[in-house]
Amino acid sequence: MKTKKETEEIINILRKCYPDCKCSLDFKTPYQMMVAVMLSAQCTDERVNIVTKDMFKKYPTPEKMSKLTIPEIEKMIHSCGFYKNKAKSLHGLTRKLLDEYDGVVPETMKELETFPGIGRKCANVIMLEAFHNPQGIAVDTHARRISNRIGLSDKKDPEQIEKDLLKRVKKEDYFDANHLFVWHGRKTCDARKPDCSNCKVNKYCNYYKKLNKE
Ligand code: SF4
C-alpha cells in the first residue's frame, strides 16, 4: 500500500498531466448539480448533459420540476438508463427539498445523504462541485480501479476505498484528487486497455510492477 508521501507524489504528477481537469457535468445551481449527479449513476456524463440541457431550460428549479409527474419525468430521462428508479428519485428529492428545505440544497454530507438517489459518492460530488467544499473523495468506477491498481487501497467497497484514500490524501488535495482520479481513468488508465507504458505514475503502480514481473 502506498504511503502518504507516495500518494502526494502521485497526485502532484497527475496534476501536471491534467492541468485543466474539472467536472464534466453541466449545471448552473446546486439543485441542478444534485439532479445531474443523481442521473449520472451507470450513465455517461455526456448522455446526462444531453438530457439535462433541455430539462434545465424548461425546469431549472425545484419549484418548476415539482409540477411534473413521475411518468412525465420518466419520459424525459429515459435515455439515462434505470429511468424508472431515477424518475422516482428525482421526484422524491425535489419534493423533499421543497417540503423540508424551502428549495435550498443543504450543505452537509449528512443531510445530502438523506435524499433519494443520493449516496455518499453523489454527496461528495455535490459538496465539491456545488459548494467548493470537498469533504472526501468520490469513489466512482475510475477512482476505484485506479486505487486498486496503483495500490492506494485493496478494498472493493467504495466507502472502504474512500476511507483508505482519506488516510493518505492531504485535505488540501481533496479538490484535485477528486478530478484527477476520474480523468486519469478516462484518459490513460482505461478499464480494459490501460496505457501503462505512457502512464506517468507507472513507477508507483502495483499493477504495472506485476505486469513487468510476469
Ligand atoms: S501504470 Fe497502468 S494500471 Fe497503473 S495507473 Fe498507470 S495506466 Fe493505470
What domains lie within the chain, and their CATH numbers? 4-21+137-213 (1.10.1670.10), 30-129 (1.10.340.30)
Distance from Cα 190 to the centre of ligand 1, integer Å: 8
Convert the pLDDT of each residue in 31-72 to its tens digit.
999 999 999 999 999 999 999 999 999 999 999 999 999 999
Predicted pLDDT of residue 167: 96
What mean pLDDT is predicted for residues 162-180? 96
Q: Is residue 7's pLDDT more than 80?
A: yes
Predicted pLDDT of residue 35: 98
**C-beta 202 within 6 A of ligand 1:** yes
What mean pLDDT is predicted for residues 157-169? 96
**C-beta 142 within 6 A of ligand 1:** no
Q: Is residue 128's pLDDT more than 90?
A: yes
Distance from Cα 184 to the centre of ligand 1, integer Å: 9
**C-beta 97 within 6 A of ligand 1:** no
Distance from Cα 191 to the centre of ligand 1, integer Å: 10
Q: Is residue 213's pLDDT more than 90?
A: no
Residue identifier of the C-alpha nearest atom 4 of ligand 1: 205
What mean pLDDT is predicted for residues 144-150? 97
> What residues are annotated to the active site?
121, 140
Band of residue 212 on the pLDDT scale cut at 50, 70, 90: confident
What mean pLDDT is predicted for residues 189-214? 94
Q: Is residue 214's pLDDT more than 80?
A: no
User: What's at 211, amino acid-wise?
Assistant: L
Q: Mean pLDDT score of the chain, rounded to an integer? A: 96
Atom of ligand 1 minimally distant from the CA of 195: 7
**C-beta 180 within 6 A of ligand 1:** no
**C-beta 190 within 6 A of ligand 1:** no
Q: Are 117 and 90 in contact (CB under 8 A)?
A: yes
Predicted pLDDT of residue 47: 97
Q: Is residue 168's pLDDT more than 90?
A: yes
Atom of ligand 1 minimally distant from the CA of 188: 7
Band of residue 119 on the pLDDT scale cut at 50, 70, 90: very high
Band of residue 94 on the pLDDT scale cut at 50, 70, 90: very high
